Structure 1
């Protein structure tokens, strides 16, 4: 059974999703990310811009999450774009609530079950263990993930 883990960094939702699906702690996921060169970047840092006073962020792509999951023994599929979660038929990492202003989104774990599925949201402000309000989520993309036991 996959357990919900919350992100400890403001933009660590992808790391928390890897921790959930890889059955490791958040700190281990952060350490693995750093080993792979997935390090927090401040806005403008990649292009050489001034970063003093700006908060660093762990923005992660589906490819980076897939790399981490493979090292943990999971089998991620190919990321696909989608608009609605009700078409999903497997477990994986779902990108939701895209922000057109800065190009970011939020990663959550989608668990498929006989009742249509639910989401484990790593955001610590979300109080419920499972989210069933899939219709309220604006979907961006989905990274299917088969665990070590599938």
Structure 2
């Protein structure tokens, strides 16, 4: 699995979904658009509903509940993570990333365009708030 770079400043949920589905950002954005989901919609990164709908439309099953982050070792082999979690005007916001553990080891696929390397292993710098397990299919 490879990181997909977000093409819009607020497109992290679309990019994370694209990485999990193994498609390009533009392909995931087209599916999102057909569902009425736009990157500029704040609920894409302040609620889980839109990303869940997008993943479902792309055939990716996820857990129906968010699990509080306990440790990197406790995460399932594939999960969506909320990092950079914050509260603004009473509403929670975060940046979506994908956690993967496979034969290449554990890593986070971060879609942020400004990063030098979008495959991250600097776990001590990231502060996940919770995760959503990606279910095996």
The bucket for the TM-score relative to the shorter chain is 0.7 to 0.9
Question: Which one has the largest radius of gyration?
Answer: 1
Computed over aligned residues only, the root mean square deviation of the Cα atoms, in angstroms, reads 2.2
Matches within 5 A, 1:74-93: 74-86=60-72, 87-93=74-80
TM-score by length of 2: 0.82
Secondary structure, counterpart of 2:117 in structure 1? coil
Q: Could you say if the C-alpha distance between residues 26 and 114 of structure 1 is closer, same or farther in structure 2, counting changes exceeding 3 Å?
A: closer
1:118 aligned to which of 96, 104, 107: 107
Deviation of 1:115 after TM superposition, in Å, equals 7.8
Report which stretch shifted further, 137-146 or 82-91.
82-91
Gaps of 5+ in 2: none
Deviation of 1:111 after TM superposition, in Å, equals 0.1
CA contact (8 A) 2:4 2:19 kept: yes
Structure-2 residue corresponding to 1:94: 81
Q: Could you say if the C-alpha distance between residues 28 and 85 of structure 1 is closer, same or farther in structure 2, counting changes exceeding 3 Å?
A: farther
Deviation of 1:59 after TM superposition, in Å, equals 4.5
TM-score by length of 1: 0.76
Q: What count of residue pairs does the alignment treat as equivalent?
A: 132
> Does residue 133 of structure 1 match 2:122?
yes
Q: Could you list the runs of 4 or more consecutive aligned residues of structure 1 that deviate by over 3 angstroms after TM superposition?
A: 56-59, 113-116
Structure-2 residue corresponding to 1:71: 57
How far apart in 1 are the matches of 2:115 and 2:87?
23
1:118-149 deviation line (CA, Å, top 9, x unaligned): 101000111114211122211122111135xx
